[in-house]
Amino acid sequence: MRAASQEVNEWIDGFLFVANKPILDLLNTKPVLADGPTELLSDCRALERWLIASGMVTSAKTKAIVRGWRRSTEATAFLEQLIAFRERLRDAVLRIESASSPSDSFLAEANSLLFQYPLRTSLHKRNGKVVRETLFDPRKPTDLWAPIIDATADLLAETESSRIRKCESCVVHFFDTSKKGSRRWCSMNICGNKLKVAAYQRRRREENATAN
């Protein structure tokens, strides 16, 4: 993956969003750029930007609260915990992609976080219909676990596992929403065109070798 790909709209505020699932986009906050593996969640301000860009934090009130934690030691500790969790989640996703299942220890960790940080919901009438609304009112940095672990549970239990994949050309993970379920790359703009050109050049070499 080249840093130049940041020109593509799939990059939002410095983060890559091609996974169709925010929790998989969390895995993609450590892509391989021109200089090698790059940690995009470098500090609390970066975490704040990712939470907003990913849609996990949406209301003006919650955005203001999260921005107030930029220099918080509690937020720094949470970020360190989140990055460690991200890598354990990566292992769980790699297991799923290899037709296995997450480890019992990871499921136990996820369950513990679900119990500690449940994501509350409520029902409302809107335009004559009953709608379900998520209630997220964080009071401290660790409350940010709520949307993250809820999204993790959705990925592990509610998502068609055969469509969770890793790009054939880089380290990016994604959920394939294509009709045929045949998506192979994180993005046509980033890796797809590169692989198509390589395949074309390989065919030409084989054709030339056969002709000679």
Show the 3-state SS of 139-190: CCHHHHHHHHHHHHHHHHHHCCHHHEEECCCCCCEEECCCCCCCCCCCCHHH
Predicted local distance difference test score (pLDDT) of residue 188 = 75
Residue type, 68: G
Predicted local distance difference test score (pLDDT) of residue 134 = 87
Q: 132 with 121: CB under 8 angstroms? A: yes
Predicted local distance difference test score (pLDDT) of residue 7 = 43
Let me know if 129 is exposed, middle or buried by CB neighbors in 10 A (0-12, 13-18, 19+). Answer: exposed
Q: Which residues of the chain have pLDDT under 70?
A: 1-9, 192-212
Q: How many domains does the chain have?
A: 1
> The domain that contains 136 carries what CATH number?
1.10.3300.10
Which residues fall within 8 angstroms of residue 127, CB to CB, at 6 or more apart?
none
Q: How far apart are CA 29 and CA 16, in angstroms?
A: 7
Predicted local distance difference test score (pLDDT) of residue 2 = 41
Parent domain of 63:
3-211
Predicted local distance difference test score (pLDDT) of residue 198 = 44
Predicted local distance difference test score (pLDDT) of residue 193 = 53
Which residue do the tokens 């002709």 mark?
A: 211
